[in-house]
Every structure is written in structure tokens, then in C-alpha cells.
Amino acid sequence: MEKLPKIGLPIIIGIIILVIVIAKSAVTIGSGQAGVLYKTFDKGVVTDQPPLGEGFHIVAPWNKVYIYEVRRQEIFEKMKVLSSNGLDIQLDASAWYKPKYDELGKLHQEIGENYLNRILLPTIRSAARSVVGRYTPEQLYSSKRDAIQAEIFEETKKIVSDQYIILDEILVRDVTLPPTIKDAIERKLKQEQESLEYEFRLVTAEKEAERQRIEAQGKADANRILSASLNDQILQDKGIEATNKLAESPNSKVIVIGSGDSGLPLILGNQ
């Protein structure tokens, strides 16, 4: 009975060591993550194999696993940039990005876990300064926001694609101009709008006047043609025709007394 504790102690110690080894060797990688394996007694970062995927993994206790977020992420950035005429512009932008999954080992080996601040953000800032510097404040305020967004995206993507980073999109959230410049631009745009409205009213009035001139000229031409086509004989015939129609009316009593200056009967009375 006295030997049992002596036999049981090494077993307990062995179990404890085993638990510690398993705890050191066990790695759980969460959803949307991947692990880069670092072999301490081999070649270091493993770059010739896919990264460790989601789930439970057992690795040698002397090795390390660096876990990366591989889902699409978003970063917000406020930047001070200069327009083409040297004015300070504040640009609020965001970027959608993620590391290249199959090249995660190379990203870790060549750039490291802080690749966002080492590569992506400096590149976005540089591209933003370059692109915004091509435009005036008026263009940035009104019509060129989509253009600068596309240009910043293309310039940034061209650089980071070789740095094991996937850039999905860059969105320009806001462009803030100095208050005095913004007010001046708004006044100018308002004046241009009022000028366009005034020109439109002038064109509309001119077209209406032209329409009325054409209509009046048409009526004058019609009256001239009608006057030229009428003579005394035609007028007398029309008068006789009208008199006959009145005389034939069942609701009329016709009294003819003498004749008018034109030779036509005079008709008096009706019912």
C-alpha cells in the first residue's frame, strides 16, 4: 500500500505534462480566419502550403501559428490633401480589402501582421493626394467625385495587388472644402442657374412672339386673299341665297318692302 503513492505520482506528473503539451499544441481558428504556421526548427514561415483553415488543429508545441482575418474588412480614413490650386481639402474615404488567402504566408513573411498601416493606408493616402491634385475645388464639389473615387481605387489597386492584398473598392464618403471657398462656389452655381433660367425665359418669349407673328401674318394673308376674291356680283348672289333660306324657314314671317341699296329685298319681322 505504501508503494501506491510512489507509483501514482509519476503518472500524475505525466498526465499534467501531457495536458500542458496538448494545450500548447492545440490551435483553434475561428470563422473568417486563417493561420500561418511558423516552424521554429525548420524554415520558419510556411509559404509552400495553404494556410491553416477554420477549426481545431494540433501543431508541435515549439511552433507558432499567426492568425489573420481573411474576410472582407473596411477601414475609414480622413485625409488632408491639396487641390490643383493649392487649397486644403479634407477627404473622407473608406476601403474594402482582405489579404490574399493562398499567399497569406508570403504576406506574413514579407510584410507582417500590420500590413494595413505598412502598405494599404500609405498607398491610399498617396493615391488620394495625386488624384485630388489634378482637380479644382469647383470640380471636387460638383461633378468629379465619382471620377476621383475611381482614379484613387485604380491607382491604389495597381500597387497593393503585388503586396498580397485584395482591394475590392474605395468609397469617397465626403469632400469638405474651406467654408469661404464652399460659399463662393455655391454663390457661383446659384448665379449660373439663375442665368440659365433667364436665358430660357428669353428663348421661350422669343418663340411665343414668333408664333404670334406667324399667326397674325397668316390671318392677314387669308383676309387679303378673301377680299381680293370678292366682288359685287358674288356679294349679291350670297345675299339672295341667304334671303331665300330665311323666307323658307317655317318659323319666320317675311315682309318685303321695297329694296335695299344693294338691290336686295328688306326683310322685317319674325316669330
Q: Kindly list the domain boundaries of the chain, sorted by start residue.
A: 3-69, 73-177, 182-229, 239-268
pLDDT for position 257: 46
pTM of the model: 0.61
pLDDT digits (tens, 9 = 90+) for 248-266: 666 555 545 445 555 555 5
d(CA 37, CA 49): 9
| The pLDDT of residue 1 is above 50 | no
* 177 contacts 207 by C-beta, under 8 angstroms: no
- In the sheet where 33-39 sits, what is the strand order? 44-45, 33-39, 64-69
The residue with greater pLDDT, 168 or 213, is 168
Sign of CA dihedral 205, 211, 217, 223: negative
* Burial class of residue 83 (count of CB atoms within 10 Å of its CB; 0-12, 13-18, 19+): buried
- Residue 189: which H helix or E strand, with range? helix 179-229
**Cα 230 to Cα 22, 177, 216, 220, 227, distances in angstroms:** 122, 77, 21, 16, 5
Comparing 114-123, 150-159, 217-226, 244-253, which segment has the lowest mean pLDDT?
244-253
**Residue 119, pLDDT score:** 94
Cell of 191: 448665379
What pLDDT shows up at residue 265? 56
CATH architecture of 73-177: 2-Layer Sandwich (3.30)
Cell for 69? 482575418
Q: What are the C-alpha distances in Å from 173 to residues 76, 98, 117, 230?
A: 9, 20, 20, 78
φ, ψ dihedrals at 56, nearest 5°? -95, 135
DSSP assigned state of 73: E
pLDDT at position 248: 67
Lookup: cell for 93? 474615404
Residue 218 CA to residue 70 CA, distance in Å, equals 79
